Amino acid sequence: MLELKLERLRHLFVEMEQALIAYSGGIDSTLVAKIAYDVLGDRALAVTAKSPSLLPEELEDAIAQAQSIGIAHQIVETHEMDNPNYSSNPINRCYFCKSELHDTLKPLALKLGYHYVIDGVNADDLQDYRPGIQAAKERGARSPLAELGITKMEVREIARSLGLSCWNKPAQPCLSSRFPYGEEITIPKLNRVGRAEIYLRRLGYENVRVRSIDDTAKIELPAERIQQFIANVDLVALTQTFRSFGFVYVTLDLEGYRSGKLNQVLPQFAN
């Protein structure tokens, strides 16, 4: 079944003839970029959006991975932070983020002669609250992984079979996802969250989130690593470091990390 999906994915790009990939450097868009390049060669282009909500380290990873694949790669700047509909952080914030992204990519694609803008949305993404998907669809973007029913697990399996070193890379949504809906997002807040997560990564905790709630940093780790974290990390040094980033309080979420946790409050907004 997986081989059949991979073959259909390749055939889809054969039919497109050329494509511009909205390329974040995450495993989904990396797999799409890899297949597009294998099929289309220099008729495939990966484009990464640079903004304050993207960790500099993630941009560096995207550049390195694109070089490893061989695909042509460009970086463009997006300005979603200039839009109060985004920075005020409503529950449909992602709609305005993806609107800005695709309002940037679509004219670029047309200018360069690419008929399609392709993203890395997979089949599992359709099961979560993702208003950005609608924004992309409205602007004519296509999502081959979702179209073919390829799940996140299948993305990783295919990526590993193709030798992509990032096949098991933890998901890294934009830094704006670290803030509860309704709390204003600012560049200083994004910076302190980014610095805090990089600090924890360098301690060996790759799959981590630092949620920012006013002046409080709430650290989320996989539940099975919480006890190890408490036992092995210098918590005093960590707290002092986080305060140097601009946080006042530092807490640990005892429930542990869970993808999509931010959206568990959505029923409150619906009432």
DSSP structure string for the chain = -HHHHHHHHHHHHHHH--EEEE--SSHHHHHHHHHHHHHHGGGEEEEEEE-TTS-HHHHHHHHHHHHHHT-EEEEEE--GGG-HHHHT--TTHHHHHHHHHHHHHHHHHHHHT---EE----GGGGGS--HHHHHHHHTT-B-HHHHTT--HHHHHHHHHHTT-TTTTPPP---GGGGS-TTSPP-HHHHHHHHHHHHHHHHTT--S-EEEEETTEEEEE--GGGHHHHHHHS-HHHHHHHHHHHT-SEEEE-TT---TTGGGGGHHHHH-
Task: Give residues with Cβ within 8 angstroms of 98, minimum separation 6.
Answer: 131, 132, 133, 135, 136
Place of tokens 């600090």: 199
Reported as a single tens digit per residue, the pLDDT across 13-47 is 999 999 999 999 999 999 999 999 999 999 999 99
Q: Are strands 44-50 and 19-22 parallel, antiparallel or unpaired?
A: parallel
Q: How many residues does the chain have?
A: 271
Write down the pLDDT at residue 269: 53
Write down the pLDDT at residue 56: 87
Write down the pLDDT at residue 262: 63
* Two tokens, residue 69: 């694949």
Task: Name the CATH topology of 2-161.
Answer: Rossmann fold (3.40.50)
Range(s) for CATH 3.30.300 in the chain? 175-270
Q: Are strands 249-252 and 44-50 parallel, antiparallel or unpaired?
A: unpaired
Write down the pLDDT at residue 268: 56
Write down the pLDDT at residue 260: 65
Per-chain mean pLDDT for the chain: 93
Task: Read off the pLDDT of each residue in 109-138 and give the average, rounded to a whole number.
Answer: 94
* Two tokens, residue 225: 């690593």
Write down the pLDDT at residue 270: 52
Reported as a single tens digit per residue, the pLDDT across 222-261 is 999 999 999 999 999 999 999 999 999 999 999 998 776 6
Chain center to CA of 258:
15
Q: In this predicted structure, which of 93-102, 144-153, 164-173, 174-183 has the lowest mean pLDDT?
A: 164-173
Name the pLDDT band for 128 (thresholds 50, 70, 90): confident
Range(s) for CATH 3.40.50.620 in the chain? 2-161
Reported as a single tens digit per residue, the pLDDT across 155-164 is 999 999 999 9
Write down the pLDDT at residue 129: 87
Task: Name the CATH topology of 175-270.
Answer: GMP Synthetase; Chain A, domain 3 (3.30.300)
* Two tokens, residue 45: 């282009």
Task: Read off the pLDDT of each residue in 204-215 and give the average, rounded to a whole number.
Answer: 94
Name the pLDDT band for 171 (thresholds 50, 70, 90): confident
20 - beta bridge partners?
45, 117
Using a pLDDT cut of 70, give the percent of the chain over it.
Answer: 96
Place of tokens 């399996």: 157
pLDDT at 105 over 60: yes
pLDDT at 205 over 70: yes
Name the pLDDT band for 199 (thresholds 50, 70, 90): very high
Using a pLDDT cut of 90, give the percent of the chain over it.
Answer: 87
